[in-house]
Amino acid sequence: MTPEDRSPHPLVHLDEGSRAVVAEIVLPMDSADQQRVLRLMELGFVPGELVRVLRGSVGAGGPLAVRVGQSTFALRPHEASLILVLPEPS
């Protein structure tokens, strides 16, 4: 594992089929984005939660299909960039 693998990176950068653990949620200054972050947390995107990318972003700016817990969500790339993850522990 390289040092870069141990630092959190945006969920939007994960490949299809990848699994990771939510490390933190970025709290932006913009009030609209703050509301998005609160909604993501309500949906289960909280630190320590396992996530899996079912389908990566299709084309420029297409949504990602992401599973958290027993639920699947479509996230815009901007939303997925607010969720920082670490690779799933082996």
29-87 pLDDT, tens digit per residue, is 888 888 889 999 999 999 999 999 999 876 667 899 999 999 999 999 999 999 999 98
pLDDT for res 1: 42
Burial of 61 (0-12, 13-18, 19+ CB in 10 A): exposed
6-16: pLDDT as tens digits: 789 999 999 99
Q: Is the pLDDT of residue 90 over 50?
A: yes
Confidence of residue 88 (pLDDT cuts 50, 70, 90): confident
Catalogue all structural domains in the chain, each as residue range(s) with its CATH number: 3-87 (2.30.30.90)
Burial of 19 (0-12, 13-18, 19+ CB in 10 A): middle
Confidence of residue 21 (pLDDT cuts 50, 70, 90): very high
pTM equals 0.86
Q: Fill in the amino acid letter for 3.
A: P
